[in-house]
Structure 1
Amino acid sequence: MSKFTALGEAGAALLGGTLATETALGGGSLSEIVRIRLADGRDAVVKGGGRPEVEARMLRAIADTGAPAPAVLAVGDGVLAIEALDAGGSMSQAWPQIGAMLATLHTAKDSRSGWDDDYAFARVAIENRWTQSWPAFWGERRLLVNVPHVGVDLARRLEALAQSLPDRLPELAAPSLLHGDLWGGNVLVSRGGAVSFIDPACYYGHGEVDIAMLNMFDTPPRAFYDAYGTLEPGFDERQPIYRLWPALVHLRLFGSGYRGLVERLLSEAGV
């Protein structure tokens, strides 16, 4: 019997090598992730589950902006092999770099909101169909899709909020490329302070969405905002609206422990 997992073996085969060592990596609550070393000395991170061909396109799109992302090494049936990066540094020392690189990512623009492919966080679908109106995209693709899954009271509040979005969110002439799931666990920091964005769920939209996600579990300091650049008027009022989507995803994936967060954000949004 092999001492390696099927995922490690699949990654090695995808890279055309022989597996020498394998280490399970943390943070893969929605997919299996291992770091492998091949007999010829090459290292890679191998992910299973999800839609690896879509994630590969997202990583390449991030890198094409000049923002940092691991290189895609190979994509196979249910398997993605990417560059293995050093992650021995601390986010607390890297906030200016994170702000500057996020601003770089957001320089990539489209004329519409959305993405070519739908995506998913485990069983929670991410609908990305292109839309000309940003308030309509956020209301339909990020809020109302949750109505069948959250109970009558929350559903009514989400419907009321979605109806008000044309007066609360801007129409974007040139939506920005978003990471789409930019919490602290998806920012790698090397010992030298270099940052890299991993595990994307990309689409084009309002750059404030990525900042809202960063604020879900971390508190970016002033140095982050100074490096990112000027924020638009109304930023603070929009933040609870943008944090609602990841909160709703957590409620659906991990249960009622996140209901209080959803309710609080709805109250902060005034509904």
Structure 2
Amino acid sequence: MSDLAERAAGLLGSTVAETRPFAGGSLSSVEFLRLDDGREMLAKSGPSPRAEARMLQAIRAAGVPAPEVFAADGVVLAIERLPDDGGLSLAWADLGRIVRTLHEKTGEAYGWEDDYAFGKLAITNTFSDDWPRFYAENRLLAAARGTGADVERRVEALCGRLGDLLPRRPRPSLLHGDLWSGNVLASNGRISGLIDPACYYGDGEIDIAMLGLFARPTTAFFDAYGPLSAGHRERAPVYALWPALVHLNLFGAGYRGMVEGYLAEAGF
């Protein structure tokens, strides 16, 4: 029996009846857990389980489906297991509506109450009222560090122009922050939940750009989400660049072509 399962059960005042590995992300461990009192859930490790719990609760409070949080401490997060049949292709319109609902929840500045991390890569969320500066310092430059001199130089050049490329004060929407297709659960043509968030307040276009990294949102998604601001197509590669840099930083040279492609699209 794993320490993760036992710790989750202890937080909930019970003991483990059954546990087994569950498909999770590349940066955390996930286990299915059934307690002696019959409750079932997922037990998940991560960089900051308490911070992730607050993010999931914020998403749910915005009226967006996400797993219920049962317990969290500094080591484990115990959450609801949601249905998932892998049918995102039938649920793009529902996802568009849900992401719009998420983005309608706004903050007063750009950032988040907690810093976070993707594996070894720290994510600083100190609040700012200057979006291009926040995105340059806390996202692009931080993720580019250590990826190689050529990429670092090109990202620095891009960041020197971000004030011309991005709006200074877009609406500070509640963002999922890691919205790729693998973090979207669907069942029977509807979205059952968004998982593995890295929330902060920022320009909603970044969630949409990230969603296009490994999937192709359909016209139904964009129709349901609603109109995007003028110039969104030009901003898309700038916003997709951050998750591409994260992948290059964490997983290596196989993602260099993706990074260089987005830099080229952005004119750098």
Whether TM-score is above 0.5 comes out as yes
2:244, 2:259 within 8 Å by CA — same for their partners in 1?
Answer: yes
Q: Distance in 2 between matches of 1:54 and 1:254?
A: 24
1:186, 1:199 within 8 Å by CA — same for their partners in 2?
Answer: yes
Change (3 A) 1:192 1:166: closer
The residue that corresponds to 2:32 in the other structure is: 35
The amino acid across from 2:266 in the alignment is A
Aligned mate of 2:73, from 67, 76, 89: 76
The residue that corresponds to 2:234 in the other structure is: 237
Q: Distance in 1 between matches of 2:162 and 2:147?
A: 20
Segment drifting more, 123-132 vs 168-177: 168-177
Q: Distance in 2 between matches of 1:147 and 1:101?
A: 31
1:97, 1:195 within 8 Å by CA — same for their partners in 2?
Answer: no
How far is the alpha carbon of 1:173 from its aligned partner? 5.1
Change (3 A) 1:194 1:266: closer
1:27, 1:185 within 8 Å by CA — same for their partners in 2?
Answer: no
Change (3 A) 1:152 1:64: same
Q: Distance in 2 between matches of 1:219 and 1:229?
A: 17
Aligned mate of 2:108, from 111, 135, 142: 111
How far is the alpha carbon of 1:110 from its aligned partner? 1.4
Alignment root-mean-square deviation, CA: 1.2
Q: How does 1:24-173 map to 2 (within 5 A)?
A: 24-172=21-169
CA deviation map 1:62-118 (0-9, x unaligned): 111101111110112311101111112500111111110000000111121111111
The amino acid across from 1:215 in the alignment is G
Match status 1:8 vs 2:13: no
Aligned residues: 268
- Could you tell me the percent identity over the aligned residues? 53
Which secondary structure does the structure 2 equivalent of 1:149 belong to?
coil
Which secondary structure does the structure 2 equivalent of 1:216 belong to?
coil
Instruction: List gaps (5 residues or longer) in structure 2.
Output: none
Instruction: List gaps (5 residues or longer) in structure 1.
Output: none
Aligned mate of 1:175, from 172, 175, 178: 172
TM-score of the aligned structures, taking structure 1 as reference length = 0.96
The residue that corresponds to 1:189 in the other structure is: 186
Q: Distance in 2 between matches of 1:258 and 1:173?
A: 29
Q: Distance in 2 between matches of 1:115 and 1:184?
A: 23
The amino acid across from 2:74 in the alignment is D
Q: Distance in 2 between matches of 1:38 and 1:147?
A: 43
1:89, 1:191 within 8 Å by CA — same for their partners in 2?
Answer: no
How far is the alpha carbon of 1:40 from its aligned partner? 1.7
